[in-house]
Chain A
Amino acid sequence: MSETRTTASATVAATPAPGPRVGLASAIAAVAAGQLGRVRVARGPLLVVATVQSLGLVILLRGIVHHHDSRTASAIVAGSAVLVVAFVSLNLLAQRLGALRATTALDYYAALPIPPAAVVLGTAAAYGLFTLPGAVVTASVGAAVYGLPFGQIWLVVPVVLASALVLAGTGAILGLSMPRPELATIAGQLGMTVVLFLGIITPARLPDAVQALRDIVPGTLAVDALAEAFRVHPHWGGVIIRLLITVGYGAVTLAVASRLFRRAVDR
């Protein structure tokens, strides 16, 4: 090897002032803004697709639910509203991160002075915000179709935020852990299907074994919390506990996803 070393450069240069560390909140905001800018064109059609699917379910199932069965009706409406979140936050995020993982795209974020969690949280936040209008429309139309009380419909907002956290975390785990983008897409769609079935069917109608499974499926506790909103006298203690568990579950999934992000870069 014909290497010539400059003897004058044997010393180390003084370290220049490093750029600032970007705080978690600022990084999340910047990532989320970028994500929202990215889907600017596709936002409308995607939201329509996500919402129409849930509205279709609400309307189709109306024909098989007895008029006085408000428990089943509220489960259907709540499950359909959370399905909008699952469609975008779980399914689309799994697809997106699976596609990014298959290219060098994660290098872009990994080479920036931001916490890895900011990438997952920022993307999840953008996708979560994106679902809010569709979930509100589904819950409102559902309540009207089934004759459920509207009084506590505001609960859809914290339910969407909490379920977006856990479903986006799950979507990110699926997207970042699958070896190929096609598998990430399939996993995202399967995940959404599980949320759909276990969300809209009331727990009492499920076999015991599946009931236990239902409780660990991300988002189902948020569905139950929203279903309370359609009762005349909601059990607020239960709502708060379910939402807190959902948020805690979401924090765990996002922590796992952040770790997977680091591992995906260091491939």
Chain B
Amino acid sequence: MSGGLAFEVRGLSKSYRRATQPANRDIDLDVPAGEIFGLLGPNGAGKTTLVRQLVGLVKPDAGSVRLFGHDLVAERSLAARLVAYLAQDEPALAELPVRQAIETTARLRGVARPASTGAATGLMEELGLTTVADRPLVKLSGGQRRLACVASALAADRDVLILDEPTTGLDPVARRSVWSALRRRREERGTTIVLVTHNVLEAETVLDRVAVLDHGAVIACDTPGRLKAAVDDSVRIELVWRHEPPRDDSTVDLLARVATIDGRRWSARIEREQSRGILDRLTRGPLVDSLDDFTVTTPSLEDVYLALGGTDDDLERG
């Protein structure tokens, strides 16, 4: 990492007409150059609006975005020359064959035609797209299509990548190949990467730092490790009941009051000290016969999110 800031966001606010709540509220963020920085939050948290402002596509209502010290409102065109942006969906490329989608993107970023052909070949090999090179994106599976869009975003080796949910719909193998491609660019070229995700696993394994967004505001921003340490005095207990749980039991009753209940699947975050007694009663007494499965885990970013007041539970765990 070079140490200095790539992005400096101050007091950023944005509202859309007819919307009841602002999409972004008074956001302050620093993203050092060479960092893999994540924006984590449920749908509607304001992540996409924030990245569209980081790319200079949308003017903020208030506040500023500086890219390597340049004000993006005043120097809007600079973002297009420094940043490669992958939107949540890329319908503009949908009907192009994979190879041509990557080549066209490279050419539109200023790469000469022969070099764009070479770049496309390299990217398809790197991401395992060679076998579908001549098929239009619209005819591919959802995962392959997303992978082809990621390949297009990587064309022309930009110093900053802003990727809005790049791994949505990918199988684990393809997801790992995207993560490897991103890490490689950071290590070899010092690329700064801003990654929007609502995948907790991705946030924990790939990101150097993560900002957690909720209702348009940043509710936390730190390394995944330090964020988790903030709620380290708790554990998560996941239970799957075999039948309807015996609510008349005091332990079950206690859990029912704090758990997120999804049918027979219960999930509860409990103080570490308190958890010992609960686990003892669950596993040693007659209650164990009522359980199909149970797991005890240390805090994840999902727990961080919930502990910080997040209310929505549509974070992706896989």
Residues of A whose CB lies within 8 Å of any CB of B are 1-6, 8-16, 18-22, 26-27, 30-31, 33-34, 37-39, 41, 99-100, 103-114, 265-267
Quick check: B156 and A19 within 8 Å, CB to CB? yes
A16 touches B88 (CB 8 A): no
**For residue B218, which residues in chain A have a CB less than 8 angstroms away from its CB?**
1, 3
Nearest to B162 among chain A residues (CB) is A111
Chain B stretch 284-307: residues in CB contact (< 8 A) with chain A: none
Cβ-defined partner of B4 (8 Å) among A1, A14, A99:
A14
Stretch at the interface among B105-113, B168-176, B310-318: B105-113
Within 8 A of A (CB), among B50-72: 52, 55-59, 66, 68-70
Verify if B87 is at the interface (C-beta below 8 Å from A). Answer: yes
Could you list 20 examples of A-B contacts with CB < 8 Å?
Answer: A3-B220, A5-B30, A6-B30, A9-B3, A12-B5, A13-B6, A14-B2, A15-B82, A16-B82, A18-B78, A22-B107, A22-B110, A27-B108, A33-B104, A41-B136, A104-B90, A111-B56, A111-B57, A111-B83, A113-B80
Known contacts: A19-B81, A104-B88. The answer to whether A38 contacts B95 by CB under 8 A is yes
Evaluate contact between B57 and A265: CB separation under 8 angstroms. yes
**Bound-complex Cα distance A16 to B84 (A):** 14
Given A2-B222, A16-B82, A107-B85, 18 other A-B residues pairs in contact with their CB atoms under 8 A: A9-B32, A12-B66, A13-B6, A16-B68, A20-B81, A22-B109, A22-B110, A30-B107, A37-B96, A104-B88, A105-B92, A107-B57, A110-B57, A111-B83, A111-B84, A111-B85, A112-B108, A266-B57
Instruction: Name the A residues within 8 Å of B233 (CB-CB).
Output: none
A21 touches B110 (CB 8 A): yes
Task: Answer yes or no: B8 CB below 8 A from chain A CBs.
Answer: yes
Chain B, residue nearest A27 (CB): B108
Q: Give the dominant DSSP class at B's interface.
A: mixed
**Contact, CB under 8 Å: A112 / B80:** yes
- B158 smallest CB distance to A (angstroms): 7
Chain B residue at minimum C-beta to C-beta distance from A33: B104
Given that A39-B95, A103-B89 are known contacts, is A19 also in contact with B110, CB under 8 Å in the complex?
A: yes
Given A8-B3, A13-B3, A266 and B59 touching (CB < 8 A)?
A: yes
Q: Which residue of A lies closest to B149 (CB)?
A: A108
The CA of A99 and the CA of B91, in the complex, are separated in Å by 9
Contact A11 B109 (CB under 8 A): no
Beta-carbon contact of B104 and A19 below 8 Å: no
Q: State in angstroms the CA–CA spacing of A2 and B77 once bound together.
A: 33
A10 CB contacts on chain B under 8 angstroms: 5
Contact B69–A15 (Cβ < 8 Å)? yes
Pair A37/B89 contact, Cβ less than 8 Å: no
A135 to chain B: closest CB distance in Å? 24
Partner of B91, one of A16, A103, A114: A103
| Residues of chain B lying within 8 A (CB to CB) of residue A3 | 28, 218, 220-222
Q: Are B108 and A30 in contact (CB under 8 A)?
A: yes
Docked Cα-Cα span, A28 to B55, in Å, equals 22
Q: Select A4's contact among B66, B79, B226, beta carbons within 8 Å.
A: B226
* Smallest beta-carbon distance B308→chain A, Å: 8
Q: Which residues of B contact A16 (CB under 8 A)?
A: 68, 82, 159
- A25 smallest CB distance to B (angstroms): 12
B144 at the interface (CB under 8 A from A): no
B227: chain A residues within 8 A (beta carbon): 2
Q: For residue B33, which residues in chain A have a CB less than 8 angstroms away from its CB?
A: 13
| Residues A2 and B230 in contact in the complex (CB < 8 Å), given A8-B3, A13-B6 | yes
